[in-house]
Structure 1
Amino acid sequence: MATKNQNKKEAAPDFSKYIRWFWMLFSAGALSVILIFLLASWGVFGEMPDHTVLENPRTNLATEIISADGQTLGKFYFNDNRTPIGYDELPKHLVDALIATEDVRFKEHSGVDARGTLRAVVKMGSGGGASTISQQLAKQLFHGEGSKNTIGRILQKVKEWIIAIRLEKQYTKEEIIAQYFNIYDFGNNADGIRSAARIYFGKEPKELTLKESAMLVGMFKNSSLYNPRPHRNPIGVKNRRNVVLSQMYKYDYIDETLKDSLQKTALDLNYSPESHREGLATYFRGYLDGFMKEWIKNNPQPDGSKWNLYTDGLKIYTTIDSRMQKYAEDAVQQHMPRLQAEFFHQNTPKRNPTAPFLELDNSEIEALMKRSMKQSERWRHLKYDLKKSDKDIEASFHKPTKMTVFKWDKGNPSEVDTIMKPWDSMRYYKSFLRTGMMSMDPTTGHVKAWVGGMNYRHFQYDMVMQGKRQIGSTFKPLVYTAAIDQLHYSPCDEFPDTPFCIEANKFGNPEEWCPRNSGGENDYGGSRTLKNALANSVNTITARLIDKVGPQPVVDLARKLGIESDIPAVPSIALGTPDLSVYEMVGAYSTFANKGVYTKPVMVTTIEDKNGTILYQFKPETRDVLSAETAYVAVKLMEGVTEHGSGARLRTKGADSYRADYREVVTGYPYEFKNPIAGKTGTTQNQSDGWFMGMVPNLVTGVWVGAEDRAAHFASITYGQGAAMALPIWGVYMKSCYADASLDISKEPFEAPKNLSIVVDCSKIDTNTTDEDTVKEDLPDDLDGF
């Protein structure tokens, strides 16, 4: 008979087999997970980055253009405007905001947050995806967008875990933070935190305030949705920023008072888009693009492959000073709209039926326009890209089309959306005056400022180096210098101010040449010193000098001064008939300021790769051209231009007043410079080109102003001379440079050489001066004779 205990034993269920099955299934599941991770790490589910790739992730890096004073002028890039920075360049509150919002246990885990992952599994993702910063970096670096199916998402998550753990082994926490900030696309060409800080707030990352950092960190959730670009989603961006601030308060990074006060503030954006057509020094960057492509062609990488200007993260160190560049661009923007307003005022259809052209009949205008049409980018695209016939292309120029055109709006560059025939838009743009300006340190050759035009988006032709225009009287100092060098003339030597001719067949000239002074037959009498003659740009005395030295020595001197453009050896070059560039003229004039030593203009000092290895370093190119004495005498001659000649308005104290319609009052030149300035104005036939070359001991600056076509110009010399068109830009620029004491622009006299043997003080001799208000550039009216 069975006992009571025996019956209980027989009745108890046996769970052993279930326990065995549980552990078998658990073990199989664990082994499966381990196997999946192993297979993923071996690359079975797709390529995985190895140790080498993890150490050097493949990211496109923009080439950075750096100014002489350490500022970023711009970048070269295709799609990725990315310039990486180190952790030490990130403000602490920016890092705190990221950790508080994206991964509060970042400093505790090793790539995967177990607590966050378990929470995400339990809540089926409703409480967040639990991706750590390391996982997000892994996704950004090696995977990009997620898979659309469940299995794909799971496998991708496995890969992210593995890569995140490897990243944690490979890098410090600080390096991971820096990489994450550097890799993220903040939209609007703001790739990485440095571009984002510059584009949205106009500053470097270290300068970001707490609320600015919170806004940028808020964009990690969705940079497209929370795009702070003006007028896109200001309320959503502000709300998201405030969430970040709340997270910082929640985890004790800031106190409640600070959180509440910042949440009430506006975004305070300083949206400054970075593109190839916007920003500082756009024309210089256009030149630099060509310079770099030529350099890349001749300088391969060690393995023989070519550098990529747009993705290899090169650093180009330039001579441009960002402060001086800004002052130069501001000077152009201050003067050109006022001058343009006057030009429009004089060229209304009522006042000038052929506007903007003068002295052309309708057939000549038609021929000019057709030449421009065939030289246009529109013609090239239709003919060579789309293979259109000439007849169809020409017809398209007379069909109204939508376009955006440039205009000055009360002194500011702006754009107008309109419907216009391309033919009419060409004529419209021909009515705009253009400008070119370059500023250079004559002792080092370093180019400090480069302004190739008014607005790079609409006027891309660079008038510093590409454009060459007739130089007028700015060429006369070369003639005077040749005479001083060969004949040992003094600025105080006197010459008769009477009509003068160079006979036929002299210097290969087939006809007699008799240049006139601007005042015609009555503009003669007595004698003038060379200093006074140059100051007042007297044509006949310049002709006498080239008759004595000959055209060829003047051409030879120009070559030694760095001028490479064609200059025919004929007498008329004395009055400035050659077409030269601002770049050439500034280089030539710098020789005078540099005691007779020509220094080739330098724009790029060093090129480095992304690791800081120097790839290129410039070597100065200099040569002795003139004796120090000859150069100094030439400078003293040109000082007369600003003392009592056509540049004397630089010393004037005038009212800085403008008419209601934004046209400049010509007498209002409030520069009042007291320091020694050497220079020369230049005006070409029919007032088509206005020049001013100005020098102080450590800065030489050249300015040109004129229209695209020489047939578009001022009718009178009142506005059309170099002293009215170009000189004001120089004056405004120099006022700004002198106001900035950090630039150390010289106000000292030019240094005289020891044992000077030529008399340069003409104060006791030169009394034949002209009041600056009546000085007008002597125009070479008969330039077409040669």
Structure 2
Amino acid sequence: MAKKVQKKQQQGYFKFIKWFWILFGSGVLVVILIFLLASWGAFGEMPTFERLENPETNLATEFLSSDGQTLGKLYLDDNRTWVDYDTLPQNLIDALVATEDARYYDHSGIDARGFARALAFLGTKGGASTISQQLARQLFIGVRDRESTTNAILQKVKEWVIATRLERNYTKEEIMAMYFNIYDFGNNADGIRSASRIYFGKEPYELRTEESAMLVGMFKNSSLYNPRPNRNPVGTKNRRNTVLGQMAKYGYITEEVKDSLQKLEMKLNYSPESHREGLATYFRMYLQRWLNGWVKDNPKPDGEQWNIYLDGLKVYTTVDSRMQRNAEEAVQEHMKNLQAEFFNQNTPQRNPTAPFLDLSKGAIDTIMERAMKASPRWRQLKREGLSEKDIEATFHKKAEMTVFDWNSDSYEKDTVMTPMDSIRYYKTFLRTAMMSMEPQTGHVKAWVGGIDYKHFQYDQVYQGARQAGSTFKPFVYAAAIDQLRYSPCYTLPDNQYCIEPGKHGNMEAWCPKNSDGTYSGDDMTLKSALANSVNTITAQLIDRVGPGSVVSIARNMGITKDIPEVPSIALGTLDINIYEMVGAYGTFANQGVYVKPVMVTRIEDKNGTVLYEYTPETKDVLSKDVAYAMVNLMEGVTQYGSGGRLRHTYGKNQTMYKEVMTGYPYELNNPIAGKTGTTQNQSDGWFMGMVPNLVTGVWVGGEERSIHFNRLLYGQGATMALPIWALYMKKNYANEEIGVSKDAFEEPEEMSINLDCSKQTQEEQDDLDTEDDLEDIDF
């Protein structure tokens, strides 16, 4: 009986063992089957081998300065720039491994020990996801649906499958680099490079240990542990310290280092990157338009068009980030003070029609209505189907808005006003444009299209064109020196001068006055006449050479706009933009050779393949001696003419400029050639300034020509524009590494034009006058 019982027990034991192994084997087979089904795509699409080899990530186009700095990026949703593993600091790598996957280098995508721990403690002592799994989720799966347990399990299975595939296709270093590059750190910080620049203002390789710990801490939840000011400072610091604790736990740092770093306060250099903020915003928007044109004419090898927001292009520009920063600072410093004086002169008591001058109510209403209908708000409501009457009604309803304000640290203030009032408010601000170029290469070094791109998006450098005023006169003088061989010492009388009707296509007699309405009656050298912008002398010169000659020279020097061949162009009645004016003046500094301004030198794809390299566009316009004579003429402007305040101290009648012209006197003692320009009613103020290796143009004025100072004292180019040039140059000279020249302009070896007025003889003057008389005879 006992034997039967024992035999029965043995049979039951073997039966249990049998079923245990059957169930265990079945479970293993089921797990294998689940993984196979997942790999076959039964639970949703799985990445192909080709996708694993080439994960799809959106990469921003990056604009790089000539000195190797990132000026900005173009992107739609992902502000991502790829960085290689070799450029990541070791402290960043150590922080990630210690915090997210301590056995990263020992597993093949799935951490069995971590998985067992997670099951045993239900995740309370840490999860089981490896770095490879987290990368798989980011690249190919997305955010898990936590409301569905079944879906969460299936997604976890897919993560495991993809993680093991990633481990077979990539090295550990490549997987880690992808993980850092793919993660969204918030605030447009897509990837470790953007995060490092936005939160700390530096490249990843420059990160300190505590900074790396903070960024790694964000992998748990980049929204909750975001270091942006006033978000969650206590929680973010605690999370950083947790990462530092993990680094000490696994021996990457000592306990002493951990303790000292955990005591440090959070130090950020929060520098948001967006299309409307940062360095060279106007320039970057020009490049965006330029790229849109370039991609249409330069498709990919497969015929598709490059996507400037997603394909990770690298655009190498000519702009120097240091000079660009100097230019923007110079604009801000001067324009803030100039605007304060403009507001002072345009109070309701002093000017009831402010900011407009000399306009009737009807004319002002016309301007305002035109501005209303040209506004983005009007266009948007029009697209939505509202009637014009209903749209106009919305412009007279008060609303909360953020507007530009020079007196705020952020240059913004919150207020309540109607959209119509905001249009008038923005018209009160003076605008500016500035461009700086190396004349020998055409490389544009700085580009400031306005006072603040976020609020004033019209680019005055390229899009804007205003009357050039006296800055056009050098084209007239160049024609006279080139064709008549006049020297800067040649003299003409400062008397009222008229060109009779019909002589050069003008319908009526043209008798220009000098700016002050008086005539000295004295003979003046061309150098003195240009230095003091004497209109009567310029009129005589264009009469002698003819408007056609002046137009021809201007066109050869890069002025593309149609220029009427009439005498009045001599005084700058033509609208020209800063971009073309700087290019044209570069001809004088470059010994008579025009070089078209260049902004982009090279474009590469994300793999470094060169897609575009620029070819210089040049044209011989003037001989070397004529170009140098013109430089000599324009040096007189800064030596004793309208640009003399660049060098001199305050005089008895100059103390009133102190509040407007910050930093004056400038005391620039190196050779400088230049020309000021002021248009009718002080609507536009210009200054074109040159040193041997840098030509810079500045314009200042209101959005409307009826917005201007009511006195020449403040409304002239020497007050409105010249100070920006001076501040900019002083900043450049303060940094010797930039290499802006203080040397004299190079004189040609064979100089056929006399520049020494002490040696100008009456005989030479008479010879030139005789040649003029002969030219006037109709043979």
| Same structural fold, with TM-score higher than 0.5 when normalized by the shorter chain | yes
Cα separation, partners in 2 of 1:659 and 1:606, compared to 1, 3 Å: same
Report Cα offsets for 1:418-472 as digits up to 9, x if no partner.
1111111111111100000000010111101000001001000000000000010
Give the Cα–Cα distance (whole angstroms) in 2 for the partners of residues 427 and 561 of structure 1: 38
Partner of 1:492: 489
1:444 is aligned to 441
Q: Find out whether 1:707 has 2:702 as its counterpart.
A: yes
Deviation at 1:50, TM superposition (A): 2.2
What's 1:614 paired with? Answer: 610
Q: Residues 446-504 of structure 1, C-alpha deviation per residue, up to 9 Å, x if partnerless?
A: 10100000100100000000000001000000000000001000000111111111111
Residue equivalent to 2:458:
461
Matched position secondary structure for 1:408: coil
Query: Aligned partner of 2:206: which letter?
Result: E
Match of 2:199 in 1: 200
Q: What does 1:559-708 align with in structure 2 at a 5 Å threshold? A: 559-653=555-649, 664-666=659-661, 669-708=664-703
3-state SS, counterpart of residue 275 of structure 1: coil
Alignment RMSD (CA, Å):
1.8
Task: Note if contact 1:639-1:678 (Cα within 8 Å) is conserved in structure 2.
Answer: yes
Cα pair distance change 1:758/1:277, threshold 3 Å:
same
The alpha-carbon deviation at position 750 of structure 1 amounts to 0.9
Q: CA deviation at 1:653?
A: 4.1
Give 3-state SS (helix, strand or coil) of 1:65's partner: strand
CA distance in 2, matches of 1:533, 1:665: 27
Q: Post-superposition shift, 1:629?
A: 1.0
1:771 maps to which residue? Answer: none
**Deviation string for 1:556-598 (max 9, x for gaps)?**
1111001011221111111110000000100100001111111
Match runs of 1:139-538 below 5 Å: 139-147=137-145, 148-383=147-382, 385-409=383-407, 412-521=409-518, 523-538=519-534
Residue 726 (structure 1) aligns with: 721
1:117 and 2:112 are equivalent in the alignment = no
**Residues 16-35 of structure 1: matches in 2 within 5 Å?**
16-35=14-33
Structure 1 Cα separation of the partners of residues 759 and 703 of structure 2: 45
Whole-angstrom CA distance in 1 between matches of 2:262 and 2:4: 75
SS in 2 for 1:418: strand
**Mapped contact 1:342–1:663 kept (Cα < 8 A):** no
Could you tell me how far apart the structure 2 residues matched to 1:45 and 1:9 are?
50
Shift of 1:12: 4.9
Separation in structure 2 between the aligned mates of residue 433 and residue 504 of structure 1, nearest angstrom: 38
Structure 2 counterpart SS, 1:506: coil
The secondary structure found in structure 2 opposite 1:705 is strand
SS state at 2:326 partner: helix
Residue 171 of structure 1 deviates from its aligned partner by 1.0
- Whether contact under 8 Å (1:413, 1:455) holds in the other structure is no
Cα distance between partner residues in 2 of 1:217 and 1:654: 57
Cα contact 1:679–1:694 (8 A) shared by 2: yes
- SS of the counterpart of 1:338? helix
* Mapped partners of 2:670, 2:426: distance in 1: 39
Question: Judging changes above 3 Å, is the alpha-carbon distance between structure 1 residues 413 and 112 closer, same or farther for their aligned structure 2 residues?
Answer: closer
- Provide the secondary structure at the position in 2 that maps to 1:423: helix
Task: Tell me what 1:97 maps to.
Answer: 95
User: What CA distance in whole angstroms lies between the structure 2 residues aligned with 1:495 and 1:42?
Assistant: 92
What SS class does the counterpart of residue 713 from structure 1 fall into?
A: coil
State how far apart, in whole Å, the 1-side matches of 2:211 and 2:354 are. 51
Give the C-alpha shift of residue 24 in structure 1: 0.8
Instruction: Measure the CA separation in 2 of the matches of 1:55 and 1:613.
Output: 19
1:453–1:459 contact (8 Å) kept in structure 2: yes
How big is the shift at 1:670?
2.9
In structure 2, relative to structure 1, the CA distance for the partners of 1:413 and 1:127 (3 Å cut) is closer
Q: Tell me, in whole angstroms, the C-alpha distance in 2 between the residues paired with 1:286 and 1:742.
A: 28
Asked if 2 retains the 8 angstrom alpha-carbon contact of 1:477 and 1:634, the reply is yes
Q: State the match for 2:128 in structure 1.
A: 130
Decide whether the 8 Å contact of 1:219 with 1:226 is kept in 2. yes
Q: Give, as a single letter, the amino acid of the residue that structure 2 aligns with 1:334.
A: E
Contact 1:338 1:663 survives alignment (8 Å): no
* Amino acid of the structure 2 residue aligned with 1:733: Y
Identity %: 67
Shift of 1:64: 0.7
- Pick which of 27-36 and 149-158 moved more: 149-158
2:504 aligned counterpart, secondary structure = helix
Contact 2:632 2:673 (8 Å CA) reproduced: yes
Structure 2 residue aligned with 1:781: none
Aligned length: 757
Query: Once the 2 structures are TM-superposed, how far is the Cα of residue 396 of structure 1 from its aligned partner?
Result: 2.0
Residue 201 of structure 1 aligns with an amino acid whose one-letter code is F
Measure the CA separation in 1 of the matches of 2:581 and 2:479.
16
Flag the 1:11–1:462 CA change in 2: closer, same or farther, 3 A.
closer
Q: Is the 8 A contact 2:512 2:539 kept in 1?
A: yes
Q: Aligned equivalents of 1:612 and 1:629: distance in 2?
A: 44
User: Which residue does 1:542 correspond to in 2?
Assistant: 538
Of the three residues 725, 741, 745, the one matched with 1:746 is 741
Cα deviation digits, residues 715-740 of structure 1 (max 9, x gap): 11111110010000000111111111
C-alpha contact 2:327 2:448 (8 A) present in aligned 1: yes
CA distance in 2, matches of 1:226, 1:240: 7
| Counterpart secondary structure, 1:426 | helix
Residues 1:83 and 1:638: Cα distance change in structure 2 (over 3 Å): same
Task: Indicate conservation of the 8 Å contact 1:138/1:163, yes or no.
Answer: yes
Query: Mean alpha-carbon deviation: is it higher for 662-671 or for 561-570?
Result: 662-671
How far apart are 1:45 and its partner, in Å? 1.5
Contact 2:489-2:757 within 8 A present in 1 as well: yes
Q: 1-side partners of 2:280 and 2:17: how far apart?
A: 76
Tell me, in whole angstroms, the C-alpha distance in 2 between the residues paired with 1:541 and 1:9: 131
Q: Matched residues in 2 for 1:83 and 1:697: separation?
A: 38
Q: Which runs of 5+ in 1 are unaligned?
A: 767-786
Determine which of 45, 52, 70 is the counterpart of 2:50: 52
* Whole-Å separation in 1 of the counterparts to 2:390 and 2:194: 45
Distance 2:256 2:655 in 1: 52
Match of 2:751 among 756, 777, 784: 756
CA distance in 1, matches of 2:273, 2:689: 33
Task: Give the distance between the partners of 2:369 and 2:17, measured in 1 at CA.
Answer: 94
Q: Is the Cα–Cα contact under 8 Å of residues 96 and 253 in structure 1 kept in the other structure?
A: yes
Runs of 5+ unmatched residues, structure 2:
762-779
Native 8 Å contact 2:299 2:306 kept in 1: yes
2:554 to 537, 545, 558: 558
Kept in 2, the 8 Å contact 1:654–1:667? The answer is no
Measured in 2, the distance between the counterparts of 1:7 and 1:309 equals: 85
Greater mean alpha carbon deviation, residues 565-574 or residues 721-730: 565-574
Q: Distance in 2 between matches of 1:179 and 1:756?
A: 63
CA–CA distance in 2 between the matches of 1:33 and 1:360?
84
**Displacement of 1:666:** 4.8
